[in-house]
Chains A and B, each alone.
Chain A
Amino acid sequence: MTTDTITTAGPGSASAGRSDVPRTELRKTDSRIPRTLRHALVMARRNLIKTMRTPEQLIDVTFQPIIFLLMFTYIFGGAITGGSTHDYLEYLLPGMLGQSIAMGSVALGQNMNADIEKGVFDRFRSLPIARSTPLVAAVLADFFRYLLLCGITLGFGYAIGFRIQTGFLPTVAAIGLSLGFALCFCWISVFIGMKARTSGSVQGIMFLIVLPLSFASSTFVKPSTMPRGLRDFVDVNPISHLVGTTRGLMVGGPVASNLAWTLGWMVGLLVVFVPLAVRGYNKRA
């Protein structure tokens, strides 16, 4: 039997003591920002609020690069250069930017995989906004994490003795390029996040991609010390080209070829992974 009732109200019966449905006239905003970007920014704010509520989500872009920097400089640095850890730090730090960007992207797909299962995504899908908005928003919010990551890596590197050899503008360019690359590279993570069945498996799959890319590159050691076949991989690896460019911009050296490769990779990553990620998201609905 259903719940006991003494009386059952019929449809349309008068409501008790509630004021009328609020019906303020709704006006559309006259903001100049394009509609889709505006929606993405509104939703990116949601992602940032969530990050701020659980700041431990920032460990991978704060403490992790510091630990890597310390570990490689003082444990492997001496062995790699055959003596001076300081020389190694000058070589390593620009590379660390690239490596930690690749590592930092893992969390994005993982969080999105968990987030997308929540009811609020049904609401987003029922709103008159572009389908890709939640994905673009998550990537925009991730920008803040990469900014933090660059600041911490450079700041801590400076504290333990790294010195920029070039100047202010090339350094700004190096950081700008790294951030731009991060925003392209992280679409791999978004795509895996849409495809993987659990958020734990996103991490596993991403590590399979990120670890070879960051170690089989010019990040930690000179590729000339590697066997021939591996060097071929290093030569096309996008992380190598990013690192080559930032290294040139921060400690000096030619950048043109590496920069062209990096920009090419950025475009390629966007062209391939944005549509794949959006399609994965739509299928998930």
Chain B
Amino acid sequence: MTNAIEAEGLVKRFGDTLALDGINLAAREGTVLGVLGPNGAGKTTAVRILATLLHADGGTARVAGLDVGRHAHEIRQLIGLTGQYASVDEDLTGLQNLVMIGQLLDLSGNDAKARARELLRWFDLEEAAGRPAKTYSGGMRRRLDLAASLVGRPSVIFLDEPTTGLDPAKREDMWDVIRDLVADGSTVLLTTQYLEEADALADEITVIDHGRVIAHDSPEGLKRQVGGQTLTVRPTDSSRLDEVATILRQVATAEPELLGRGVLSVAVPGEEALAATVDRLREAGISVTELSLHLPSLDEVFFTLTGARTSSDEEDAA
């Protein structure tokens, strides 16, 4: 299988700041590459270089086999870009936004309208089609933004933090859309600050920090490196904590920890542990008020990979 997106040794400087310090990225055709990192890690810079918006100061990058420096115009016919902030025109209606993009992609007026309506329908925006985009909710705006990047049926799609700021239900909707696009044959490069999102969507994950790649692996491999998931249980009756601890010991890979106020937490090897715990709790007749499975947070991923806490709040997105 060939790579739809390839970058080798990308370097980008903004004044004295080294935004990208020689990063490598590769996404096989028809897969999702997740680029995971905190604010300021260089995710957006990398996307902007690959999407032909910025010139790299060093290294090479190819999209669909074409060099981003020499064949920018050809690449622009093949890609779709959804930015970190909704990149639609606020004063235009949803329909006007999509028709404009269609016409800029050389569709005739009628074809652009037909394509716009089809996308609005697919993204459940038909009713809002005639309203200015500034009246849309955050989720609707993101959907319109994604729709706008799909007008030309791109084979390579860049999604820069497509779900940042969305509530969990809206995020799941967006994930469904992204899965559909990949099932349809598109290659997706997705940047995210959420390990959970990368885990849910990506075939491979590249973790970057301070402009450098600090890990590249499958989601499974990455989880193995950073220590899998955590199961948290809060029994309704806190006097039964000991019994719960016994059950957890049977499914877990480590000793359960008491997080105080009657909550037990333990590292587990995978999702199966959740079902097993539910079964055993039911058999023992223990009711719970909280039962959840967490992935390690981005902060914990970085702590494990680099041995240092990230300072994700201190830096601005590059």
- Whether A associates with B in a native complex is yes
Chain A residues proximal to chain B, CB less than 8 Å: 1-13, 15-16, 18-24, 26-31, 35, 38-39, 42-43, 45-46, 49-50, 53, 118-129, 133, 285
Contact A1 B101 (CB under 8 A): no
- Which one of B91, B107, B148, B298 has the greatest number of beta carbons of chain A within 10 Å? B91
Q: Which residue of A lies closest to B34 (CB)?
A: A11
Chain B residue numbers with a CB within 8 Å of A46 are 89, 92, 96, 100
Contact B196 A5 (CB under 8 A): yes
Contact B91 A39 (CB under 8 A): no
Contact A2 B148 (CB under 8 A): no
Q: How far is the CB of A14 from chain B (nearest CB, A)?
A: 8
Contact B181 A53 (CB under 8 A): no
Tell me if B81 counts as interface (CB < 8 A to partner A): yes
Contact A126 B52 (CB under 8 A): yes
Chain A residue numbers with a CB within 8 Å of B230 are 1
Known contacts: A6-B274, A26-B152, A122-B53. The answer to whether A43 contacts B81 by CB under 8 A is no
Contact B182 A12 (CB under 8 A): yes
Contact A122 B73 (CB under 8 A): no
Known contacts: A7-B271, A27-B111. The answer to whether A12 contacts B183 by CB under 8 A is yes
**5 nearest CB pairs, A to B:** A119-B87, A29-B108, A128-B76, A4-B292, A126-B81
Compute how far the CA of A39 lies from the CA of B103 in the bound complex, rounded to whole angstroms: 7
Compute how far the CA of A20 lies from the CA of B118 in the bound complex, rounded to whole angstroms: 11
Contact B107 A27 (CB under 8 A): yes
Known contacts: A5-B292, A27-B107, A43-B100. The answer to whether A126 contacts B51 by CB under 8 A is yes
Instruction: Specify which of B32, B96, B107, B175 is in contact with A28 (CB 8 Å cutoff).
Output: B107
Tell me if B114 counts as interface (CB < 8 A to partner A): yes
Tell me if B273 counts as interface (CB < 8 A to partner A): no
Compute how far the CA of A267 lies from the CA of B295 in the bound complex, rounded to whole angstroms: 64
Q: How far is the CB of A271 from chain B (nearest CB, A)?
A: 25
Q: Which B residues between 98 and 117 are near A, CB-CB below 8 angstroms?
A: 100-101, 103-109, 111, 114-115
Chain A residue numbers with a CB within 8 Å of B196 are 2-3, 5, 8
30 contacts between A and B (CB under 8 A): A3-B196, A5-B196, A5-B292, A6-B293, A7-B274, A8-B271, A11-B32, A11-B203, A15-B177, A18-B122, A20-B184, A21-B180, A22-B118, A22-B121, A23-B153, A24-B114, A24-B115, A27-B107, A28-B107, A29-B103, A29-B108, A31-B108, A35-B106, A39-B104, A46-B89, A120-B89, A123-B81, A123-B83, A126-B81, A127-B104
Tell me if B176 counts as interface (CB < 8 A to partner A): yes
Contact B92 A49 (CB under 8 A): yes
Instruction: Specify which of B79, B119, B295 is in contact with A22 (CB 8 Å cutoff).
Output: B119
Chain B residue numbers with a CB within 8 Å of A126 are 51-53, 76, 79-81
Q: Which B residues between 172 and 212 are near A, CB-CB below 8 angstroms?
A: 175-177, 179-184, 194-196, 199-203
Chain A residue numbers with a CB within 8 Å of B200 are 8-11
Q: How far is the CB of A128 from chain B (nearest CB, A)?
A: 4
Chain A residue numbers with a CB within 8 Å of B132 are 53
Compute how far the CA of A123 lies from the CA of B89 in the bound complex, rounded to whole angstroms: 10
Chain A residue numbers with a CB within 8 Å of B274 are 6-7
Compute how far the CA of A1 lies from the CA of B230 in the bound complex, rounded to whole angstroms: 10
Instruction: Specify which of B76, B79, B107, B179 is in contact with A12 (CB 8 Å cutoff).
Output: B179
Compute how far the CA of A15 lies from the CA of B88 in the bound complex, rounded to whole angstroms: 26
Compute how far the CA of A21 lies from the CA of B274 in the bound complex, rounded to whole angstroms: 34
Contact B87 A120 (CB under 8 A): yes
Instruction: Specify which of A5, A6, A42, A119 is in contact with B103 (CB 8 Å cutoff).
Output: A42
Compute how far the CA of A127 lies from the CA of B167 in the bound complex, rounded to whole angstroms: 30
Contact B52 A129 (CB under 8 A): no
Contact B153 A285 (CB under 8 A): no
Q: Which residue of B lies closest to A133 (CB)?
A: B104
Compute how far the CA of A125 lies from the CA of B109 in the bound complex, rounded to whole angstroms: 21
Contact B106 A2 (CB under 8 A): no
Q: How far is the CB of A50 from chain B (nearest CB, A)?
A: 5
Q: Which residue of B lies closest to A128 (CB)?
A: B76
Compute how far the CA of A3 lies from the CA of B163 in the bound complex, rounded to whole angstroms: 13
Compute how far the CA of A76 lies from the CA of B100 in the bound complex, rounded to whole angstroms: 49
Chain B residue numbers with a CB within 8 Å of A124 are 104
Known contacts: A24-B114, A26-B107, A46-B92. The answer to whether A123 contacts B101 by CB under 8 A is yes
Q: How far is the CB of B120 from chain A (nearest CB, A)?
A: 10
- Which one of A5, A13, A124 has the greatest number of beta carbons of chain B within 10 Å? A5
Contact B294 A2 (CB under 8 A): yes
Tell me if B54 counts as interface (CB < 8 A to partner A): yes
Tell me if B303 counts as interface (CB < 8 A to partner A): no
Sample of 20 more A-B contacts, CB < 8 Å, known A46-B96, A49-B91: A4-B293, A8-B196, A12-B182, A19-B122, A21-B183, A22-B118, A29-B103, A39-B103, A118-B89, A119-B85, A122-B53, A123-B81, A123-B83, A123-B149, A126-B76, A127-B76, A127-B101, A127-B105, A128-B74, A129-B104
